A and B are shown apart, each in its own frame.
Chain A
Amino acid sequence: MSFTYQAGTPFAGDGIKDVSGTIHDGSYTAIIGHTGSGKSTILQHLNALLKPTSGTVTIGDKVITNETNNKNLKPLRQKVGMVFQFAENQLFEQTVAKDIAFGPQNFGVSEKDALALADKMVAMVGLPHDVLEKSPFDLSGGQMRRVAIAGVLAMQPEVLVLDEPTAGLDPAGRHEMMTMFERLHREQGQTIVLVTHQMDDVADYADTVWVMAEGRLIKTGTPREIFSDPAWLKANQLGLPKTAQMAQQLIAKGFHFDPRPLTETELADQLLPQIGGGQHG
């Protein structure tokens, strides 16, 4: 399964221009770029909420072009689960169970099976079993977000697309949420596309990075490749993960790192011989 993406002429406003790239099955791809760089436009092409003005988007064996008929998009939308920003805003059913079961039922799963899925997904997003019969509107903001995500997971998508999934959560909530996606990716081989401003999350979780600027895909690579060029990132108004920032400060003081560390564990490991840590044992 892969996405191939080629779009030509931009549409008015924040369009995207001539973007070509592939997202591989089982990968964890982060899309970064400052606000207005075309990230959300790309996302909406991933399940044909938008169709390319020119060029093609291939999702699995399905090719979407400008001429693609709206009627045949359903199977494709089932394949690509979208978790939008502030996803809790999409909840509407009387109970959590019904809301989670809503998506699968739209794609032809029976009510019974859909409710069974809800049962399973609620556990997967780390919510207690007894929320199933509650109204989603009685839950806290963080819990509502999880219900919304469970509703997308229940569609059993092949690709999970996350648009700033941790926005507005507190640090503990953010960490739990990111760990949950990491588990899905690692244990079930879930393909993930993450759009984020949090460079630390990119460094910690992604295996591929797309950098967008002014509607163009200006660089792709592993997080290590992308974050090894601080000057280039700065020129494109992008930040560094905290570890890379620290490494940068240490390099200025005469430390050496090869390769540049991405996490504090890597940084600590590489620092150890340079500060005589080995002697202490």
Chain B
Amino acid sequence: MDKLLLGRYIPGHSWIHQLDPRTKLMASFYYIGIVFLANNWQTYLMMFVATLFMIWLSGIRIGFFLRGVRPLIWLILFTVALQVLFVRGGMVYWHWGWLWITKLGLINGAFIFVRFVLIIFMSTLLTLTTQPLSLADAVESLLKPLRVIRVPVTELALVLQIALRFVPTLMDQTTKIMNAQRARGVDFGEGNIFQQMKAVVPLLIPLFVSSFTTADELATAMEARGYQGGDDRTKYRILRYHQRDWIAAAGMAVLTGLLLLLRAY
């Protein structure tokens, strides 16, 4: 579980790593948006090459990105199958009842597949090259305008930061309690679904109890250190845009231009 949540970040000093987290966050969303503009093999090919280029810039092995695809592979194949079997057009290769395999269906299926892969690669690139904490900072900074409509952005960011901070502590606590209960004869992950649910109770209740204690003590400590909430707080962490961030933005603009151009075909 630890690996799933936090272990994804791969420390490095590549060009991508050094981008401002806000840039990376915005660029990823933007990129995922423009992937949907691709509509023919030229545009898909271009986006594919652009993605590979960014992966190359990050200095991270392609294997890590392929691993990102694995958990979603059934969803992807299911969607692709729907496209292939239900979209009709062009030459017919096979047909049975309402199921058709046509040229258009195959092409659409292939496009959907590439689109999925590109989106997964891009979001994987974001999480592999950005620390969760930096992402939290980026979210806070980008959401700041919402303070005008009274969204408690600073508080939400602190909540997010503390949550991230306590993930390893909670994992540690979980392991300890699991060990203690295994030593008392509990089999985790064995038996039928009912037995497994029963085994979770001796884990969850102590975990809740200790989380409440932690929350309570943490609140006391925060109050003792002068935490009152509100917007008068100053920030120790600050984010600054650098030249490379403008280059990244320009890169995205060029990509969009080319995409629109090639779409016209």
Given A84-B176, A137-B209, A92 contacting B201 (CB threshold 8 A)? yes
Q: Specify the chain A residue showing the minimal Cβ separation from B180.
A: A90
Most buried by A among B180, B181, B183, B209: B183
Q: Specify the chain B residue showing the minimal Cβ separation from A92.
A: B205
Given A89-B206, A102-B202, A84 contacting B186 (CB threshold 8 A)? no
Q: Which 10 A-B pairs have the closest CB atoms?
A: A106-B185, A92-B205, A90-B180, A82-B183, A103-B184, A92-B202, A84-B180, A107-B185, A92-B206, A49-B179
A78 interface hit (Cβ, 8 Å): yes
Contact with B along A20-53 (1 / 0, CB 8 A): 0000000000000000000000001001010000
Q: Which of B183, B186, B190, B210 contacts A89 (CB 8 A)?
A: B210
Contact with B along A103-123 (1 / 0, CB 8 A): 100110000000000000000
Q: Specify the chain B residue showing the minimal Cβ separation from A104.
A: B185
CB distance from B178 to the nearest CB of A (A): 9
B177 interface hit (Cβ, 8 Å): yes
Q: What is the number of residues of chain B that contact chain A, defined by CB distance less than 8 Å?
A: 19
Whether B184 contacts A102 by the Cβ 8 Å rule is: yes
Contact with B along A65-89 (1 / 0, CB 8 A): 0000001001001101110110101
Most buried by A among B179, B185, B187, B201: B185
B244 interface hit (Cβ, 8 Å): no
A132 interface hit (Cβ, 8 Å): no
Give the chain A neighbours of B184 by CB distance below 8 A: 77, 90, 102-103, 106, 151-152, 155
Q: 15 extra interchain contacts, Cβ-Cβ under 8 A, other than A49-B183, A74-B185, A92-B202?
A: A49-B179, A49-B182, A77-B185, A78-B185, A80-B183, A82-B183, A84-B180, A84-B183, A89-B206, A90-B177, A90-B181, A92-B201, A103-B184, A151-B184, A155-B185
Given A89-B206, A91-B206, A47 contacting B183 (CB threshold 8 A)? yes
Please list 8 pairs of residues, one from A and one from B, whose beta carbons are closer than 8 Å in the complex, sorted by A's number: A44-B179, A47-B183, A49-B179, A81-B183, A82-B183, A89-B173, A90-B181, A92-B201
Give the chain B neighbours of A82 by CB distance below 8 A: 179-180, 183
CB distance from B131 to the nearest CB of A (A): 22
Residues 162-191 of B at the A interface (beta carbon under 8 Å): 173, 176-177, 179-187, 190
Given A49-B179, A90-B177, A103 contacting B185 (CB threshold 8 A)? yes
CB distance from B36 to the nearest CB of A (A): 43
Contact with B along A135-162 (1 / 0, CB 8 A): 0010000000000000110010000000
Q: Which residues of A contact B (CB under 8 A)?
A: 44, 47, 49, 71, 74, 77-78, 80-82, 84-85, 87, 89-92, 102-103, 106-107, 137, 151-152, 155
CB distance from B204 to the nearest CB of A (A): 8
CB distance from B210 to the nearest CB of A (A): 6
Q: Specify the chain B residue showing the minimal Cβ separation from A47.
A: B183
Q: Which residues of B contact A (CB under 8 A)?
A: 173, 176-177, 179-187, 190, 201-202, 205-206, 209-210
Give the chain A neighbours of B185 by CB distance below 8 A: 74, 77-78, 103, 106-107, 155
Instruction: Report the bound CA distance from A49 to B180 in whole Å.
Output: 9
Give the chain B neighbours of A74 by CB distance below 8 A: 185, 187
Give the chain B neighbours of A92 by CB distance below 8 A: 201-202, 205-206, 209
Q: Specify the chain B residue showing the minimal Cβ separation from A46.
A: B183
Instruction: Report the bound CA distance from A107 to B187 in whole Å.
Output: 11
Instruction: Report the bound CA distance from A123 to B39 in whole Å.
Output: 77
Most buried by B among A90, A102, A151: A90
CB distance from A26 to the nearest CB of B (A): 22
Q: Specify the chain A residue showing the minimal Cβ separation from B189.
A: A70
CB distance from B189 to the nearest CB of A (A): 9
CB distance from B93 to the nearest CB of A (A): 50
Whether B180 contacts A89 by the Cβ 8 Å rule is: yes
Instruction: Report the bound CA distance from A77 to B184 in whole Å.
Output: 7
Q: Specify the chain B residue showing the minimal Cβ separation from A71.
A: B190
Instruction: Report the bound CA distance from A106 to B195 in whole Å.
Output: 12
Give the chain A neighbours of B179 by CB distance below 8 A: 44, 49, 82, 84
Whether B206 contacts A90 by the Cβ 8 Å rule is: yes
